[in-house]
Amino acid sequence: MHPAPSVIIFTTLSGLGFGLFMWLGLGTPNVTGLPAFIWFFVAYALSVGGLIASTFHLGNRKNAIYAFSQWRTSWLSREGIMAVLTLLTFAPYAIGLIFLGRHWPLLGNIGTLFALITVFTTSMMYAQLKTVPRWRMIPVIPFLFELYAIAGGALLAGEARVAGWLILVLTGLQIAAWMMGDAKVANLTTNKGTATGLGRFGSVRMLESGHTARSYVMDEMVHMIGRKHAQKLRVISALLIGAIPAALLLFLPAGPLVILLAVASHVIGVATSRWLFFAEAEHVVGMYSSRG
């Protein structure tokens, strides 16, 4: 799949933003006044910024309001609704903490639940697609997305020790998910024979493509650039997401500088892994158009 910057920015930033909301809703960190303002500002900036970035790849933004209408069938629609609901739920909660010095736990916990559901709907947007075997791993992909959000949120909330351990678990699960994806693709029953239905007559190869120039389908779904560096990028990503931040958080005394370095490393790592999430994902339509 084409690793469009808009979707990488969206899933990375929004995931962290909603992850931070999950902790803020539980009263962590326990802050009011100006510090509360800063924390909520970061959470809103990340989540809203990510959501805005996601609209950059839309071809026809003027119809965006309709995207809230199909919650009965569409995970993308559900995601839009849940994101807005979460942001709205946290508004009075944040106002209470910042301006009134009041903490309303029930409202916060509802917000946390909504944030969890939002991240789940994001993950299902990808995990629902039968056409992309590497994404169609339920519950691994939803669980992975949630863990990314919870661990990244803990880090942003300044919970150094908790974040350190969560990030280690996250890195382990991410590595396992990569390997499961590899195994799934290696054992795929879809091939040129099943794609064309001609497999029962013999071995099938493409003689001529349907087009001499590029096409939307090829650009969007048969992206192959960068897959050759996938293994190296996985190692880099695992180090940046997990190993480096975990070492910083678990072995050094917690302080603003340590947290800042861990956040920087983690965010770059998450963005790298999200690039891989798209770039490595093979779409079955490639069977129709690949040579060989």
C-beta separation of 273 from 170 below 8 A: no
Angle between helices 75-95 and 5-25 (to 10 degrees): 40
Closest CB to other proteins among 2 and 227? 2
Report the nearest approach of other proteins to the CB of residue 288 (Å).
Answer: 6
Dihedral angle of Cα 53, 56, 61, 66, to the nearest 10 degrees:
-50
Count of C-beta atoms within a 10 Å radius of residue 155: 27
Q: Which of 19, 80, 111, 269 binds other proteins (CB under 8 A)?
A: 80
Rg (CA), the chain: 21
Closest CB to other proteins among 115 and 125? 125
C-beta separation of 206 from 291 below 8 A: yes
Q: Which of 72, 228, 232, 291 binds other proteins (CB under 8 A)?
A: 72
- Calpha distance 43→79 (Å, rounded): 17
Tokens found for residue 222: 């048969």
The verdict on 208 binding other proteins (CB under 8 A) reads yes
Tell me if the bond preceding 92 is cis, omega within 30° of 0. no
- Calpha distance 118→251 (Å, rounded): 33
Q: What is the DSSP letter of 158?
A: T
Closest CB to other proteins among 72 and 228? 72
Q: Which of 186, 207, 225, 228 binds other proteins (CB under 8 A)?
A: 207
Q: Which stretch binds other proteins (CB under 8 A): 147-155, 213-221, 232-240, 253-261?
A: 213-221
- Calpha distance 134→112 (Å, rounded): 29
The verdict on 187 binding other proteins (CB under 8 A) reads no
Q: Which of 45, 91, 95, 198 binds other proteins (CB under 8 A)?
A: 198
Q: Which of 84, 113, 180, 206 binds other proteins (CB under 8 A)?
A: 206
Q: Which of 187, 205, 253, 256 binds other proteins (CB under 8 A)?
A: 205
Closest CB to other proteins among 196 and 231? 196
Q: What is the DSSP letter of 68?
A: G
Closest CB to other proteins among 23 and 126? 126
Q: Which of 32, 37, 74, 258 binds other proteins (CB under 8 A)?
A: 74
**What is the binding site for other proteins (CB under 8 A)?**
1, 57-61, 63-64, 66-70, 72-77, 80, 125, 128-132, 189-190, 192, 194-198, 200-211, 213-217, 219-221, 283-285, 287-289
